[in-house]
Amino acid sequence: LLMHDGQNCFQAFVSDAPFGNSWRADEVATRLIDQGRLEEFIIVGVAHGSNRLVEYLPPYSSFFFQQGQANATVTAYRTSVLPWLQSNFRARTD
C-alpha cells in the first residue's frame, strides 16, 4: 500500500509531521491483520515534495496558476518506488 504524505503515516514519525498528526497506519493494519480481516502487506509512506497540492491534483486542475502534476506523481511511483520495493522486499508484482 503506497500512501501519500508519508511523514504522517506512522506514529514513530509524528514529531516530524508538518501537521503533528499520525494516521497510525501501521497500528491499524496490524490490528486488522491480527483480526484476520486483511492479509499481511507492506505499507510505504511516500513523503510529498515541496509543492504538495500540485503533486496530487490532476493535470486539468490548477492551484495558484500551477497545473496539477498527479500524472507525474503516479509515473514516479510506477517507475521508481515500485521497482525499488519489488527488488528489495517481498512485494507482489500484480
Q: Where are the beta strands (DSSP E) in the chain?
A: 2-3, 44-45, 62-63, 66-67
11-38: burial string, b at 16+ Cβ within 10 Å, e else: eeebeebeeeebbbbeeebeeeeeeeee
Q: What does the pLDDT profile of the chain (94 residues) look like in tens digits? A: 888 888 788 866 666 555 567 788 999 999 999 999 999 998 998 887 777 778 888 888 877 887 888 888 889 999 999 999 999 988 877 7
pTM, to two decimals: 0.73
Whole-number pLDDT of residue 13: 60
Whole-number pLDDT of residue 92: 76
Cell numbers that stand for 4 in this block: 501519500
